[in-house]
C-alpha cells in the first residue's frame, strides 16, 4: 500500500501555525499526511511566540520560503502545499520551483506583477508600512486592526475570539518586500508564472477580504494565462481574510479537497 501523500500547510502573517489543526485532521481523515510548520522564530504555542516576539523579527519572504524547502527536502515524494495569505505566495513559489506536486493559494499575498493596490489593502498593511523601521521588527496587530483586516466578515465577538486564540507578532519585512515587488527585478515575491511543467494550482479569493482583496487574487490568477499547466480560480464572495480559521473553515477546506481529488493528487 503506497504511503499517504504529504501536505504542507503554510500560514500567513500574524497567525500561528496551530490555526491549521482542524485542517490537518480533516486532511488526515481524507488519506493525506499533513504537517503545519511555523515560520522561522515561531514557537510551538501562541503564548510562547508572543513572549518571544523578537525571534520572528527581520525574516523575509526568502527566509520563510527556505524554511519550507528544508521541510520538503525531508520527504521522499513531493507534497501538496496549501498556503494562506503570505503562505499562498510561498505556496506558489514552491510549486514553480518544483518542490510541490500541487498547490492551493488562499487569499494569497501579491506576487510580483500584480498591479491592483486597493484602498482596503493599504489600510490593512498601514500598521506596518507606515513606519520604515518596522522592516526589521516584529509587529503585532491590535484587536481593532485584526477586526478590519481579518475579521470583518464575521461577528465582532468571533473576530475577538479569533484574535485572542491565533494572533502572534509577525515580521514586518515580508510586507515591505511585497509592496516593493514591482520595482525590483530580483524581488523575493517573484514567481515564475509562465512555466509549463509545474503541478496544478488553485487560487482562492474571498470577496469580503480587506487584507488581500479579491481583485489582487484575480490579478495573480491572470498572470498564469501564458502557462499550459492547470491553474484554477474559485471565489467565495461572502468570506474575509479569516476564512481558513473562522467558523466557516470547513467550506474552504472541503473545496480544496474536492479540487485535489479532481486533479488526481
pLDDT class of 108 with cuts at 50, 70, 90: very high
Look at residue 95 in the predicted model and tell me its pLDDT: 98
pLDDT surpasses 80 at 259 = yes
3-class DSSP state of 77? coil
Look at residue 122 in the predicted model and tell me its pLDDT: 80
Look at residue 116 in the predicted model and tell me its pLDDT: 82
Nearest to 234 by CA among 108, 67, 109, 64: 108
Nearest to 14 by CA among 66, 68, 53: 53
- In degrees, rounded to 5, the angle at the alpha carbon of residue 72 between the alpha carbons of residues 67 and 20 is 75
Look at residue 152 in the predicted model and tell me its pLDDT: 98
Look at residue 127 in the predicted model and tell me its pLDDT: 83
- Whose cell is 495573480? That residue is 220
Share of the chain above pLDDT 70, in %: 100
Look at residue 119 in the predicted model and tell me its pLDDT: 87
pLDDT surpasses 90 at 102 = yes
Q: Yes or no: say if 136 and 120 are a contact pair by the CB < 8 Å rule.
A: no
Q: The C-alpha cell of 9 is what?
A: 500547510
Q: Which of 81-85, 88-92, 106-110, 128-132 has the lowest mean pLDDT?
A: 128-132
pLDDT class of 219 with cuts at 50, 70, 90: very high
Amino acid at each position: 500500500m503506497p504511503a499517504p501523500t504529504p501536505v504542507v500547510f503554510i500560514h500567513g502573517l500574524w497567525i500561528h501555525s496551530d490555526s491549521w489543526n482542524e485542517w490537518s485532521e480533516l486532511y488526515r481523515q481524507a488519506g493525506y499526511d499533513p504537517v503545519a510548520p511555523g515560520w522561522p522564530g515561531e514557537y510551538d504555542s501562541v503564548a510562547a511566540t508572543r513572549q518571544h516576539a523578537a525571534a520572528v523579527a527581520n525574516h523575509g519572504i526568502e527566509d520563510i520560503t527556505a524554511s519550507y524547502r528544508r521541510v520538503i527536502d525531508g520527504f521522499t515524494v513531493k507534497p501538496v502545499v496549501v498556503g494562506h495569505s503570505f503562505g499562498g505566495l510561498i505556496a506558489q513559489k514552491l510549486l514553480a520551483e518544483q518542490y510541490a506536486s500541487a498547490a492551493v493559494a488562499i487569499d494569497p499575498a501579491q506576487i510580483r506583477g500584480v498591479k491592483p493596490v486597493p484602498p482596503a489593502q493599504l489600510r490593512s498593511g498601514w500598521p506596518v508600512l507606515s513606519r520604515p523601521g518596522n522592516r526589521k521588527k516584529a509587529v503585532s496587530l491590535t484587536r481593532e486592526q485584526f477586526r478590519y483586516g481579518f475579521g470583518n466578515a464575521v461577528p465582532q465577538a468571533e473576530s475577538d475570539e479569533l484574535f485572542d486564540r491565533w494572533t502572534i507578532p509577525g515580521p514586518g519585512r515580508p510586507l515591505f518586500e511585497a509592496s516593493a515587488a514591482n520595482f525590483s527585478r530580483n524581488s523575493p515575491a517573484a514567481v515564475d508564472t509562465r512555466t509549463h511543467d509545474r503541478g496544478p494550482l488553485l487560487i482562492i479569493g474571498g470577496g469580503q477580504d480587506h487584507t488581500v482583496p479579491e481583485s489582487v487574487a484575480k490579478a495573480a490568477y491572470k498572470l498564469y494565462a501564458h502557462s499550459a499547466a492547470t491553474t484554477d480560480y474559485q471565489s467565495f464572495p461572502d468570506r474575509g481574510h479569516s476564512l481558513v480559521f473562522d467558523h466557516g473553515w470547513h467550506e474552504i477546506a472541503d473545496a480544496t479537497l474536492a479540487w485535489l481529488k479532481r486533479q488526481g493528487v
